[in-house]
Amino acid sequence: MPRENALVRVVTLVRYRFFLYAGLLPYLLGAAWAYAVAREFDPTVFWSGFGGVVLSVIGVEAFNEYFDARMGTDRIFNPDDIPPIAQAVFWIGCIAFAAALAVGIYLSFRIGWPILVFALLGGAAAIFYEAPPIRWSYRGLGELMIALSYGPWMVLGSLYLHTRGFSWAAFAASFVPACFIMALAVVNAIPDFHQDRLVGKLNLVVRVGRENAVYLYLALAGAGLAVIVMGVIARAFPPVSLVALVAGVPVAASARCALRNFSAPRQFLPAMRSMVVAYIVVTGLFTAAIFAQSFG
């Protein structure tokens, strides 16, 4: 496959798989918390960190596609339908991660060493999600790494960029995207149950089975919504945050589809799409509610 085609495919996959939004929304949540609650915001470091997140997401997608192809995960049942992954995809991932690390080093010199810690933690989770020798996703830890990366590490790292400090309330807020992104990681693996099991990818779906995985991802989504309610009761979040509970509507739609079709991959797709919508709605509205505090 020509190198330019490999680059186009990676860019397309980044858009299609939605992880760009997955990374940017928690980053915006941390920035909104800094601006609205701590009354601190630095545009320069915001856009620098924004670029680092985008680069990291490109690296994640490139590495996931490359190492999945090397293990043959996506080619077991349809080997002729998927074009081979070029070596260029691997190098695109390496360049993206190297550039993201450079951004992290720059920000650590400007803001403080904790930024580099967040960058290294996120990098270790992202690079070794599929890549050897660790392969988090093959050890049943991939979903947890995703939750930590797009939850506490992303939100608190973004907050620290502006405030040079942390907050227990912001830590609690980070569990909203963490629970939902972990739910997404579980639901996305349900249609790939047989492929993953055959290549030895012992993720949570393979470990607990498809039907139990449905209950698991719905429980995770419910936990994310419960965090909002408990945060409002504890006065850690503004009451307007309850608007994010509207995400329960697409979660319920996903549940109806998933419980009927967990063993039929094609019929299961609407359940996955509904959870994508739920994640965007809950994280987007929750971030907007936090930001709204800045207007009194």
DSSP conformational letter for 130: T
Burial 33-71, CB ≥16 within 10 A → b, else e: bbbbbeeebbeebbebbbebbbbbbbbbbbbbbbbbbeb
CA distance 128 to 144: 13
Task: Parse the chain into domains and list their residue ranges.
Answer: 3-295
CA distance 293 to 296: 5
Q: What is the pLDDT of residue 1?
A: 44
Check pLDDT > 90 for residue 74.
Answer: no
Query: Which of 52-66, 101-115, 185-199, 261-275 has the lowest average pLDDT?
Result: 52-66
Confidence band of 293 (pLDDT split at 50, 70, 90): confident
Mean pLDDT throughout 72-82? 52
Give pTM, 2 decimals.
0.88
Yes or no: is domain 3-295 CATH 1.10.600?
yes
**246-292 pLDDT tens trace:** 999 999 999 999 999 999 988 999 999 999 999 999 999 999 999 99
Cis ω for the linkage preceding 79 (within 30 of 0): no
Confidence band of 86 (pLDDT split at 50, 70, 90): low
Q: What is the pLDDT of residue 77?
A: 47
Query: Which of 69-73, 160-164, 251-255 has the lowest average pLDDT?
Result: 69-73
Q: At what angle do helices 113-127 and 154-163 cross, to 10 degrees?
A: 160
Mean pLDDT throughout 37-48? 92
Q: Tell me how far CA of residue 162 lies from CA of 32, 55, 292, in angstroms.
A: 10, 20, 18
Check pLDDT > 60 for residue 245.
Answer: yes
Q: What is the pLDDT of residue 69?
A: 76
Mean pLDDT throughout 181-208? 92
Confidence band of 294 (pLDDT split at 50, 70, 90): confident
